[in-house]
Structure 1
């Protein structure tokens, strides 16, 4: 409502400004214009209807917080009319961030993550935050303080983690797309178990600024979507150096120089993938793989051959040891982050989160942690006290593994393997013993975690349904992982897009 004349004159008197009678109408016009501008700007990027979801509106337990955030004057329309959810370790200023935990409460970030700003600037609408595993640790959707997250295809089965809620929301149609964060497979595993496309980009391509991190050397943020094309579109919108995230090194483009992935893969559709070289990683199909997953994967690879691609077996023996080496990096690196002892960063830090965590931990805080976090604390402390020299050794081994993958990728265009070795497991009981809870993640990270350390882009893509391990009448999604050279997301997406355009994965 426009200010009254009395309000105008009162404002003026407070400034010792005596407005001549014959100019009052002019200043009323000018002040009305100012108010219009103020109202417009105030409405920009505003958070509306911020609330914790009721159980009836959250049947899968996947939503952490609901609100609506958009811009009335976006810079582009690449994400226009699309809705998004965010893993609940991604900061949105003024919206509580749960981080899946009750070890601390009422953390309300004071800043928006770079990826949040980019979605809004591209015309997207964010409609809420999605549950993540407790302190973003774990590959089973059972540890969040708000309760388990259920698989949309079979209640009582896991969605994986730690971006569990994002996958469940997107797979169930709650939003068009979502963002997850990945420290060992936490984008790709939930995508794999719910029939979605989940991309862990090349190291540094998408800024992690404004996102709660456990170990900056291993974490990534990326898109989780129902189609390959949507994945490419969202990647376009969020990729590119922001000048703040020190993960962005040489070769990372500025936002204006990010490839138009969606346009390019559509453009390549006519040419197809004839002549592309696809390597099937021998060590990605170990003896303990679920036989139904292996068959579905091998059948999916045959589609590439029908499309004219050249398929060959490739071998990286060290891949079989990648999970063990990664676990050293992860548990020891995570330990430093969890204890508030990480140093050497050159990025914008979330000081308000450090204040909330309250170091050193009290017994009450530790008692509220998940088994995964407790195990991480114990294992990390033990490793640093007894095996301190193993961490640098593990880092060097991962450099060697990167070189070995690069060697294979010099002779093939992409490497493929199952994303997970099994379909979704049943959710463990709330009171399950620690070992049982930890074993619920078996088969999930074996093929994903190495690429967090080596930095290669890796995409999970759906390839059909397989029977649940404990109930053949229950059908759950299976997934293929496509891994490419550094900075070659385009070829990874192109391969997946060609498969998607040929096959309806739900009928495969």
Structure 2
């Protein structure tokens, strides 16, 4: 009896009626005998699933002791940026010794609750550390907790998390940026030294810009995404957020590098340089290109600050010129957001098709799996979200409901045809940026073309909420998630007492020059 229970199938054999209904869904007609034969072979195939179910699962190691921590009360969470507080001590020595960290709440930390901004994940506790967590702890860092992120990371603003809006320290009525909203606020307010963010469309750079800190989306795959909740595998980036370029470089130095095949996106055999040692501030011979199309529909004061910041780099030895790439911004579609008419770029169109369909396929249909490649898969997280979606899908945020409706509609009408074409177009877009970066070494443009917008008011309509959440996608960031070029935001100055970000973009794997350009500007800026 016990043996029979132990060997019970992981998945029950489907009935003849179930198989008939499945066939009808795809327009397949079969006789009773044909269905019975299919059932026989399916039953045999399902034995493999029982074997998998009964086998132990290899997981990344947990190397450092920790206690579960706690959810902070309002009096110790002024800007609602903390999702959970911990005190996980790493190695006794290392490059990050004495440094404290906040971890975006879509990045697993073993034994610590992870909600990814949604109540659908309430109660889920990962049993593994993401590789980036192990690397921080190995380098002597101390993890002080999980930072609030937007609901399933699907917002450029800071109001969609089920734990409530994250407030901007410069003006609590305004957006702190998203989706790594809490990480940016905790760094800005000094509650931690550094933080981790993730970026599929600008989610490190938006909040870093709105909070006046340094945020780097590294070259795609430079830092392993192992174990982290995915939106779209070809857009996934994880990277550092800090108050200084040096701290950003030091953290990248610790995070970057091959993960022994656990993240198949990575380039095997690539050895990252010591980024912190590249921060000389000397830009002699470096050509800076101010991207003309990056300023289209830009607020005049934002444009002035960014252009002034770019030209100041001549003091570090760089040459600065205006360059043009029409493909960055030559779309004809116009959208109305907060009464501003803004051109959507070809680059953003390409990114949007990949991101929106990827977010539906990976985030909803596959419950965060991101299938189709070798490496480590976060089985427990996928299982938790899948089960919750079956019973609580009405609890999805307004933004995620939009993803479901659009994604399912596109799936029914066209399948993945547009996703495939967008990925093919992305190769051309990447080549066009590469060609431009052969004429200059660095591209500069505004991170966001306006200052942090106001948060939506209580009782806002669905239209108003969606416009507020998606406002930042009309900026300059999503293109470089699609192409994978490294892109960093640094505070160029203030307008109306709100930060304005300058984005610095470089060649693939030239993150060191991007950081040194930012470091040179930081030195020039802070001398004033």
**Corresponding residue to 2:355 among 320, 330, 339:** 330
Matches within 5 A, 1:5-24: none
Per the TM alignment, residue 367 of structure 1 is displaced from its structure 2 partner at its CA by: 2.0
User: Which of 189, 196, 202 is 2:219 aligned to?
Assistant: 202
Is the Cα–Cα contact under 8 Å of residues 188 and 198 in structure 1 kept in the other structure? Answer: yes
Q: CA deviation at 1:372?
A: 1.1
* Equivalent in the alignment of 1:281: 291
* 1:372 and 2:394 are equivalent in the alignment: no
Among 222, 227, 231, which residue is 2:239 paired with? 222
Deviations 1:140-181 (A, max 9, x none): 100001000001111121111110000011111110000000
Deviations 1:332-387 (A, max 9, x none): 1111112343431212111111111125834x623211111111111111122223
Shift in Å at residue 198 of structure 1?
A: 0.5
Indicate the larger mover: 298-307 or 483-492: 298-307
- Distance change >3 Å, CA 44–CA 109, structure 1 → 2: closer
Q: Does 1:117 align with 2:134?
A: yes
Q: Which moved more, 1:274-283 or 1:400-409?
A: 274-283
Contact 1:273 1:498 (C-alpha < 8 Å) held by counterparts: yes
Verify the 8 A CA contact 2:283 2:517 in the aligned structure 1: yes
TM-score (norm 2): 0.82
1:10 equivalent in structure 2: none
CA offset digits 1:233-257 (Å, max 9, x no partner): 000011101124434443662xxx3
CA deviation string 1:295-328 (max 9, x = no partner): 1111111201233311111122111111122111
Q: Deviations over 1:175-225 (max 9, x none)?
A: 000000001000011101100111011111100112111211111100000
User: Residues of 2 paired with 1:429 and 1:366: CA distance?
Assistant: 25
Cα distance in 1 for partners of 2:450, 2:472 equals: 6
Structure 1 stretches of 5 or more lacking a match?
1-42, 468-474
> Secondary structure in 1 aligned to 2:278?
helix
Match of residue 87, structure 2, among 68, 87, 97: 68
Structure 2, gaps ≥5 residues long: 1-61, 330-345
Q: Which residue of 2 aligns with 1:92?
A: 109
Cα distance between partner residues in 2 of 1:430 and 1:345 = 43
1:282, CA displacement in angstroms? 1.2
| Aligned pairs (5 A) from 1:38-57 | 45-48=64-67, 50-57=69-76
Q: Is the 8 A contact 1:142 1:427 kept in 2?
A: yes
Q: Which moved more, 1:207-216 or 1:177-186?
A: 207-216
Is 1:131–1:144's contact at 8 Å kept on the other side of the alignment?
yes
Query: 1:387 aligns to what?
Result: 414
2:506 equivalent to 1:484: yes
5 Å-filtered alignment, 1:243-282, equals 243-250=260-267, 253=270, 257-265=271-279, 268-269=280-281, 272-282=282-292
User: Counterpart of 1:457?
Assistant: 486
Q: What is the match of residue 520 of structure 2?
A: 498
Kept in 2, the 8 Å contact 1:189–1:445? The answer is: no
Is the 2:290–2:307 Cα contact (8 Å) retained in structure 1?
no
Structure 1 SS opposite 2:257: coil
Most deviating of 205-214 and 385-394: 385-394
- Equivalent pair of 1:422/1:443 in contact (CA under 8 Å): no
Corresponding residue pairs, total: 446
**Alignment equivalent of 1:59, drawn from 64, 68, 78:** 78
Partner of 2:309: 300
Give the distance between the partners of 1:501 and 1:121, measured in 2 at CA.
Answer: 30
Secondary structure of 1:96's counterpart equals coil
> Structure 1 CA distance, aligned partners of 2:268 and 2:383?
35
Instruction: Name the counterpart of 2:476.
Output: 447
Q: Secondary structure at the match of 2:516?
A: helix
Shifted more, 479-488 versus 99-108: the winner is 99-108
SS across alignment from 2:69: strand
- Tell me if structure 1 keeps the 8 A contact 2:63–2:134: no
The separation in 2 between residues aligned to 1:104 and 1:311, in whole angstroms, is 48
1:134-149 alignment, distance < 5 Å: 134-149=151-166
Runs of 4+ with >6 A deviation: none
What is the CA RMSD across the aligned residues, in angstroms? 1.7
